[in-house]
Amino acid sequence: MSKTQNAPGGVRSKTVVDYLNDENVRAILYQIIAIGLVCLAGWYLVSNTLVNLERQNISTGYGFLDLEASFEISESMVQYSAQSSYATALLVGLLNTVKVSLLGIILCTIIGTIFGIARLSSNWIVRKLATVYVETFRNIPVLLQLFFWYAVIPNAFPHPRDAFEPLPGVLLTSRGMYMPVPVADNAYTLMGIAAIIAVVAIFFIKKWAKKRQDETGQPFPIFLVGTGIFVGLVFIAYLIGGAPTDMDMPELKGFNIRGGYNISPEFLAVLIGLTVYTSTYVAEVVRSGIQAVPHGQWEAADSLGIKRSVALRKVILPQSMRVAIPPLTNQYLNLTKNSSLAVAVGYPDLVSVSNTTMNQTGQAIEAISIFMSIYLGLSLLTSLFMNWFNKKMALVER
């Protein structure tokens, strides 16, 4: 017979078996074991990788970022040359990725909203055209669309010698679009500072206007006042800076166009491809969001004599956003991650620059870890912003 161990007070103390029979204890134990196995696997992979790298005389670390890159990048938003460091080259790739992703998100939102509303139109032709657009471009892989636009754009426009000029100073050629830009001047720095001051002022005025409306019920023309403040301050800064008018105009020199600002075919192909593809999903999100709003909201607006277009803008769309924001976040994340396909058409995004860096330095693990971390950071920032916006749009219970 087994002996039962009792505490001094006559209460039986728990044994190991008792703890193992406890569901909460077992759950914690399983988690500890799982974490331990993951750490063990990570240690094995890291140690094995370091041993293999040492065996092949490949150095590790991120010291290569300070070395000279020794390669050119066709498009750069910051000053860059082949003598710049690898860190600067990666910064150029990051900025190019952010540029195409941010513009793509803005454009796909606008286009997707238009086609999403058009899919619910009472006009048969408009509704069917919107359906064809959505169903066609949504079911073609985005990589193939990038190839398509990259093949179309250079062949759709003439050689630089025969450049098409739709507007004065704007040239369309097989090598991209060229447009005039202002020559660098201190006045534009003052205008930027004035714009920031105007945005801050508008923010506080908007808060005051909301408080005033809650207390008195009287609306305040924040849009008109904000526009006036922004335009007025920026224009005053422009005048104080001397009102410069010098422009850097694109012009044909030799076999190519020099001067102005160039939007390359690669950038256009990536931007159009990502925008068109993602806008089809955004259209479906907008359509489903509108249909999720109770039909009684339309009837209530009709009973008040509100036009359908005004009701859509003022009543239906604001309510549909509460349903549409979470899936919209997913589409914005997809667009940002799909921008990594830009390397396929030669656009110097983060992946393209990282691949060149990896091939020249042999630091494959470090280069991959850098752009993986950057894409993770961009995705987290997008999620944080959209979650904040979702909370702003949520109904507030009184």
pLDDT score for 223 = 86
Reply yes or no on whether the pLDDT at 392 is more than 90. no
Task: For residue range 279-298, list pLDDT tens digits in order.
Answer: 999 999 999 988 888 888 88
- Give the phi and the psi of residue 165 in degrees, each rounded to 5: -120, 90
**Choice among 39-48, 167-176, 197-206 with the minimum mean pLDDT:** 167-176
Tokens of 272: 């159009």
* Average of per-residue pLDDT across 179-197: 88
Tokens of 73: 């990048």
Using CA atoms of 94, 100, 101, 106 in order, give the dihedral in degrees to the nearest 10.
150
pLDDT score for 2 = 43
Pairing of strands 256-258, 261-263: unpaired
pLDDT score for 56 = 73
* Average of per-residue pLDDT across 159-185: 84
* Average of per-residue pLDDT across 307-330: 85
In the chain, what percentage of residues exceed pLDDT 90?
37
pLDDT score for 12 = 60
Q: How do the residues of the chain divide into helix, strand and coil, expressed in percent and rounded to 5?
A: 70, 5, 25
* Average of per-residue pLDDT across 361-374: 86
Q: Looking at mean pLDDT, say which of 252-261, 307-316, 376-385 comes out highest.
A: 376-385
Task: For residue range 35-81, list pLDDT tens digits in order.
Answer: 999 999 988 888 887 787 777 777 777 888 888 888 898 888 888 88
How would residue 323 be classed by pLDDT, with cut points 50, 70 and 90? Answer: confident
**Choice among 107-116, 253-262, 376-385 with the minimum mean pLDDT:** 253-262
Reply yes or no on whether the pLDDT at 141 is more than 90. yes
Selection from 334, 293, 223, 275 nearest residue 113 by Cα: 275
Phi-psi region of 167 (alpha: psi -120 to 50; beta: other; left: phi over 0): beta
Residue range 84-158+263-391 forms a domain whose CATH class is mainly alpha
Task: Give the number of other CB atoms < 10 A from CB of residue 320.
Answer: 22
Selection from 111, 145, 144, 138 nearest residue 286 by Cα: 111
pLDDT score for 396 = 59
Task: For residue range 10-30, list pLDDT tens digits in order.
Answer: 556 667 777 777 778 788 888
Alpha-carbon distance of 59 to 3, in angstroms, equals 63
Q: In terms of pLDDT, which residue wins out, 9 or 70?
A: 70
**Average pLDDT for the chain:** 86
Reply yes or no on whether the pLDDT at 227 is more than 70. yes
361-370: long-range pairs with CB below 8 Å, 24+: 361/64, 361/67, 361/86, 362/58, 363/60, 363/62, 363/64, 365/49, 365/60, 366/60, 366/61, 366/62, 366/64, 370/62, 370/90
pLDDT score for 1 = 41
Reply yes or no on whether the pLDDT at 3 is more than 50. no
Lookup result for tokens 């690669």: 266
Task: For residue range 235-278, list pLDDT tens digits in order.
Answer: 999 898 888 888 888 887 877 788 888 888 999 999 999 999 99
Reply yes or no on whether the pLDDT at 6 is more than 60. no
In the chain, what percentage of residues exceed pLDDT 70?
95
Reply yes or no on whether the pLDDT at 398 is more than 60. no
